[in-house]
Amino acid sequence: MSTTLNIQAEIIPNISVDCVIFGFDKNSKSLNVLLIERFLKLEDSEVPAVNDYVLRGFHTFENETIDDTANRVLKELTGLEHLYKKQFKVFGDPNRLKNEKDIIWAENEHFNRRTITIAYYVLLPTDAFQLENNPYKPKWFPVNQLPELGFDHQKIINEAYADLKEKVLHKPIVFELLADKFTIKELQDTFEAILGVEIDNRNFRRKLITKKYIIALDEKQTGVSKKPSQLYMFSKDVYQKIYKESYLINI
């Protein structure tokens, strides 16, 4: 690893961070996951030994917090900082890297077979950054149509998605998947894409616009060939004030 990358600090060889980056594409109304290619061609072979996709991750440095590792990985991959991220689970099974390709890959990269990885998921709109000219050649895939994945990354994504589905019902995190200014319809599309359900637009609309933390702006959509819709923003401050002592037991 240190042979291929010039790094400024010592890595902790058995601890890494992996990031499940969820992006919502409001045009295709699709919840996507950002993956990078894992490609390895050994000298003695025509066909690649490894050719699939994985999440982007990296080892933690000796002098770094886990959150900082995640921030670093995210910055390198997307160019963005201050992204919404949730550390949701550790994957530390001694047999995480079990299939043949993983073993070939791990040997080639000389990395510790007993690495425990701390997994985060991240929420952003897919258009928050550009994929072109990105050295990692990342690609968006709809969360329900993922390609073949290396390591235990399918499992990690599954668990991230389950956590997201659950959390989105109670916490105001949908907004992280949209631009600062959004329409009610986009918000509904986002919920529908995450939860895989259909929601009545009229009831949804009413429910949302009556919330005090959903604030109508003096602005409408432009560049649409239909009735342009009202833009709204989400006020985190107002939300937190209201929900500071809300404890509706809902079991």
> Binding partner of residue 94 among a copy of itself, DNA, none, CB under 5 to 8 Å per kind?
a copy of itself
Between residues 9 and 224, which has the closer beta carbon with respect to a copy of itself? Answer: 9
Structure tokens at 48: 């690649």
Contact window for DNA (CB under 7 A) among 3-11, 105-113, 196-204, 233-241 = 196-204
Q: Is 205 in the site for a copy of itself (CB under 8 A)?
A: no
- Kindly tell me which residue out of 48, 79, 92, 142 binds a copy of itself, with binding defined by CB under 8 A: 92
CA distance 1 to 140: 26
Least Cα distance to 117 among 165, 168, 155 occurs for 155
- Report the nearest approach of DNA to the CB of residue 185 (Å): 3
For DNA, the binding residue among 209, 215, 217, 242 (CB under 7 A) is 209
From the CB of 99, what's the least distance to DNA, in Å? 43
Show Cβ contacts of residue 118 under 8 Å, excluding neighbours closer than 6 positions: 15, 16, 17, 18, 66, 69, 70, 87, 90
x-or-dash string of contact with a copy of itself, 143-182, rule CB under 8 A = -----------------------x-xxxxx-x--------
**Smaller CB separation from DNA, 4 or 203:** 203
How far is 7 from 99, CA to CA, in rounded Å? Answer: 29
Choose the binding region for DNA from 39-47, 111-119, 128-136, 202-210 (rule: CB under 7 A).
Answer: 202-210
C-alpha span between 172 and 215 (Å, rounded): 14
Q: Is 90 in the site for a copy of itself (CB under 8 A)?
A: yes
Site string for DNA, 2-21 (x = CB under 7 A): --------------------
* Rounded (5°) CA angle 74-79-82: 60
Half-sphere exposure of 141 (CA within 13 A, CB side): 20
Q: Kindly state whether residue 224 participates in binding DNA, applying the rule CB under 7 A.
A: yes
Residues 67 and 75: their CA atoms lie apart, in Å, by 12
Which residue bears the tokens 């937190």?
240
Instruction: List contacts with a copy of itself (CB under 8 A).
Output: 12, 14-15, 60, 62-66, 87, 89-90, 92-94, 114, 116, 118, 166, 168-172, 174, 191, 195, 197, 199, 207, 211, 247-251
Instruction: List contacts with DNA (CB under 7 A).
Output: 183-185, 200-203, 205-207, 209, 220, 224-230, 248, 250
